[in-house]
């Protein structure tokens, strides 16, 4: 399942309103639907009914909007995503070019059905930022078959560079947290929390759990502005956050750290993106 969170990728949102799966580069209607959701379309996400035991692998990755050697970068990113065997992939800064490439290459596993998708405008955004939410239900015969209505959310929070942006990010995080069930939800995001005072906002003030830290890593490991020379301080902007006692991060790694050595169209060490992706595996329990 791919959750894309930029205006150029809204094409996915309409498919989320049905029970679907990603197959051969397209979202397809499933012939046999899981049990219908009991949630009201206006009531927000339902509580997750989780499998007795199992694991779910999740990726969040800002793939970079920059038009920079896209003919090499985009297929390389998609190949790397495919190699993770992730159940859920959430992407930020998708361009129309990237979207066309990913549509032409079936890289997603068919392990989850997606239903009750919704796209919600984030508050105080001057950049048209949105929250994408969906409920995931496991498919029979896969390792996810016991998962029912687990909420997945994805967003790219307001970018820095303007005086209002820090306040907007805080408001957006509060807005998102209020819409996620306490019983279990996963939130994938480029937080853009680029100041020291913001860094711990999700965990210290909004009761999110952080998959990277819970898996035993330092909170100081940067995911942005550490690959290419940048005027910005490297920070850990990209995070997989979650709620609920039924979810527990058991491992986490970064992806996209090693460059590709290319000679065409120019000779250079080419990174997939200006961000590193985060790959986390969470145990899922009832």
pLDDT tens digits for 85-135?
999 999 999 999 999 888 877 555 567 888 889 999 999 999 999 999 999
In a domain, 92, yes or no: yes
Residue 42 lies in a domain: no
Residue 280's φ and ψ, nearest 5 degrees, are -135, 145
Q: Is the pLDDT of residue 42 over 70?
A: no
Is the confidence at residue 35, as pLDDT, over 80? Answer: no
Residue 22: CB atoms within 10 A of its CB come to 23
Tens-place pLDDT, residues 174-194? 999 999 999 899 999 999 999
Judged by average pLDDT, the poorest of 41-50, 222-231, 236-245 is: 41-50
> Per-residue pLDDT for 7 more than 60?
no
Q: Which residues contact 64 (CB under 8 A, 6 or more apart)?
A: 73, 93, 272, 273, 274, 275
Tens digits of residue pLDDT in 16-27: 223 334 344 443
Q: Give 201's pLDDT tier (boundaries 50, 70, 90).
A: very high
Q: Do 88 and 136 form a contact (C-beta atoms < 8 A)?
A: yes
For the cut 50, the answer to whether the pLDDT of residue 143 exceeds it is yes
Secondary structure (3-state) at 181: coil
Which candidate, 257, 217, 219, places its Cα nearest to that of 237?
Answer: 219
As a whole number, the mean pLDDT across the chain is 82
Residues 229, 231, 233, 237: is their CA dihedral positive or negative? negative
| Contact (Cβ atoms closer than 8 angstroms) between residue 210 and residue 175 | no
257 pLDDT more than 80: yes
Q: Report if residue 11 sits inside a domain.
A: yes
Strand partners, 113: 137
Angle subtended at Cα 274 by Cα 269 and Cα 279, rounded to the nearest 5 degrees: 105
Residue 20 lies in a domain: yes
168, part of any domain:
yes
Q: Is residue 124 part of a domain?
A: yes
Determine the pLDDT at residue 192. Answer: 97
Query: Is 220 part of a structural domain of the chain?
Result: yes
Structural domain boundaries enclosing 101: 2-33+52-284
DSSP3 helix / strand / coil % (the chain, rounded to 5): 20, 30, 50
Domain CATH number, residue 105: 3.60.10.10
More confident residue, 117 or 29: 117
Distance, CA of 273 to CA of 259 (rounded, Å): 10
| Cα within 13 Å of Cα(49), Cβ side | 11
List of residues 6+ apart from 51 with CB closer than 8 A = 138, 144, 145, 146, 147, 284, 285, 286
Q: What is the mean pLDDT of residues 28-51?
A: 39
Please report, rounded to a whole number, the percentage of residues in the chain having pLDDT higher than 90: 59
C-alpha–C-alpha distance, residues 159 and 36, integer Å: 37
Give the start-end residues of each E strand in the chain.
2-4, 20-23, 26-29, 55-62, 88-92, 112-121, 130-138, 150-156, 185-190, 209-210, 238-243, 247-255, 260-262, 268-270, 277-284
The verdict on residue 39 lying in a domain is: no
What pLDDT shows up at residue 10?
Answer: 30
Query: How many domains does the chain contain in total?
Result: 1
The more confident residue out of 254 and 106 is 254
The DSSP letter of residue 21 is E
Tell me the two tokens of residue 5.
């969170």
Give the pairing type, strands 55-62 and 238-243: unpaired
83 falls in which pLDDT band (50, 70, 90)? very high
User: Dihedrals φ, ψ of 261, to 5°?
Assistant: -90, 110
Q: How far is Cα 105 from Cα 153, in angstroms, rounded to an integer?
A: 24
Q: Which position has the higher pLDDT, 232 or 35?
A: 232
29 phi/psi in degrees, rounded to 5: -70, 135
From first CA to last CA, the distance across the chain in angstroms is 22
The model's pLDDT over 43-64, given as tens digits with 9 standing for 90+, comes to: 333 334 444 457 899 999 999 9
């Amino acid at each position: 399942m791919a959750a894309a969170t930029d205006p150029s990728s809204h094409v996915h949102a309409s498919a989320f309103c049905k029970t679907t799966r990603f197959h051969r580069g397209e979202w397809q209607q499933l012939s046999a639907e899981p049990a219908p959701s009991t949630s009201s379309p206006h009531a927000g996400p339902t509580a997750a009914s989780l499998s007795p035991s199992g694991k779910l692998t999740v990726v969040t990755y800002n793939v970079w909007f920059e038009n920079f050697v896209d003919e090499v970068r985009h297929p390389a990113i998609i190949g790397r995503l495919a190699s993770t065997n992730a159940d859920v992939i959430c992407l930020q800064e998708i361009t129309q070019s990237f979207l066309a490439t990913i549509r032409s290459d079936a890289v997603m596993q068919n392990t989850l059905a997606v239903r009750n998708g919704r796209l919600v405008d984030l508050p105080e955004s001057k950049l048209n930022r949105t929250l994408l939410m969906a409920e995931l239900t496991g498919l029979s015969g896969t390792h996810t078959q016991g998962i029912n209505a687990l909420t997945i959310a994805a967003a790219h929070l307001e970018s820095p560079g303007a005086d209002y942006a820090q306040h907007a990010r805080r408001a957006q995080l509060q807005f998102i947290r209020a819409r996620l069930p306490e019983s279990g939800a996963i939130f994938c995001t480029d937080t853009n929390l680029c100041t020291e005072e913001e860094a711990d906002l999700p965990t210290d003030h909004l009761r999110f759990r952080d998959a990277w830290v819970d898996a035993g890593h330092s909170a100081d490991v940067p995911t942005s502005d550490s690959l290419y020379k940048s005027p910005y301080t490297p920070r850990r902007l990209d995070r997989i956050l979650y709620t609920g006692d039924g979810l527990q991060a058991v491992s986490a790694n970064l992806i996209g750290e090693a460059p590709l050595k290319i000679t065409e169209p120019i000779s250079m060490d080419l990174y997939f993106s200006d961000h590193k992706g985060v790959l986390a595996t969470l145990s899922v329990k009832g």
